[in-house]
Structure 1
């Protein structure tokens, strides 16, 4: 009752009940962004009064719009819009395959776009553009103590080179294949079956993969296992770690 009596809550609910504000996501989007409005939205979705939508994606699109608009030059804003819309968000939608994106995925895209903004802002301060930037300029930016998100900026430079926005630049970076999401159960079981039965894969790789997929063991912990960690009794085989003993299932053709 205390929550319902708060100014913005009672105002929004009264407007919705009276018809002064339509019960749609777009109408709620017109209100100042706040936890109260998001809670009201969540209640309306749970009650079936509003259709569900990917709130993380909506939040990301707003952030992209604000971040692109923050750059000082029209050329820079155009480049950032292309990078965000046709590279980062397009890859994210393709990877999510229609599922809601996660908060981690949202943050990854934010970091990559923010890195592009940092680099473009610095180039503008130096009276440079991506087209006029040379390797010596780029290395000068990379070696600054205050430079942030160097790795993410490398992905932006690589994209700019493929789009012919920049030229003759080299930026050491690991190729990024876009935001990823948690593996679903069907994919996990499919990989586990392959590791169990595909004898074209090295035995040690199959074992390491199964320990990771089925027992959630860290690769660092798997790499330290030796035959001394195996405990064999009359009917069972167990793998002993520092904190537990895992029972190895009996190899059976009926295993999923």
Structure 2
């Protein structure tokens, strides 16, 4: 269907449109088909909150699939939260903080996406002031402690690795520096230690060796 529309636009049979915004409106229609009891509220949220922000962003940056997913996630989260509250005998204006806390604790981290909807609803007078913390970044898949120290030792002592790789790896594993800071460093930011290169040792391993 998307390809056919592009052809019709190219020949002038249909006017051009922002396909990302069109996708959001399509997703809204699918959500409303599943949750028709929230039609007015969700349409109002999307019309006066979600879409205006996307249009403002589109003036300075081209729309992306990521932005479409951002909007879709918030529309779905709002609908699911409203349905969850309804099953417990509540409407949006009777939802209290303890209900929000139960919602957040009872499912995946994606439930935090409801924050955008609840902040908007409170500002419009549809809901109480409800707190949903900003969702933290997902925990990265961490390394086993022994693997972590082995990688650090390699960064410190493996002359076969490029020096910039060794420095970046050491900063990441030894000081937990984010990559955004590491890539901004220059050679002037790094000074050799007067005592020269020292071997970092795993504390548990040192204890085992002394034992």
For the aligned pair, the TM-score class normalised by the smaller chain equals 0.5 to 0.7
Structure 2 residues not aligned, in runs of 5+ = 136-178, 192-211
Residue 4 (structure 2) pairs with residue 40 (structure 1):
yes
- Change in 2 beyond 3 A, CA 1:225/1:150: farther
Aligned residues: 148
Question: Relative to total residues, which structure has the larger helix share, 1 or 2?
Answer: 2
Residue 164 (structure 2) pairs with residue 227 (structure 1):
no
Secondary structure at the counterpart of residue 110 of structure 1: helix
d(CA) in 1 for partners of 2:12, 2:35? 40
d(CA) in 2 for partners of 1:130, 1:44? 43
- Alpha-carbon deviation of 1:140? 1.1
Secondary structure at the counterpart of residue 131 of structure 1: helix
Give the conservation status (yes or no) of the 8 Å contact 2:119–2:129. Answer: no
TM-score by length of structure 2 reads 0.60
TM-score by length of structure 1 reads 0.50
Q: 1:167-215 deviations in whole A, cap 9, x for unaligned?
A: 14222227xxxxxxxxxxxxxxxxxxxxxxxxxxxxxxxxxxxxxxxxx
1:169 matched residue in structure 2: 130
d(CA) in 2 for partners of 1:92, 1:155? 14
After TM superposition, the structure 1 = structure 2 runs for residues 31-180 of structure 1, keeping only pairs within 5 Å, are: 37-48=1-12, 50-73=14-37, 76-97=38-59, 101-144=63-106, 146-173=107-134
Structure 1 residues not aligned, in runs of 5+ = 1-36, 175-217, 231-256
- Change in 2 beyond 3 A, CA 1:141/1:228: closer
- Change in 2 beyond 3 A, CA 1:220/1:151: farther
- Alpha-carbon deviation of 1:50? 4.3
2:156 matched residue in structure 1: none
RMSD: 2.7
Give the conservation status (yes or no) of the 8 Å contact 2:104–2:112. Answer: no
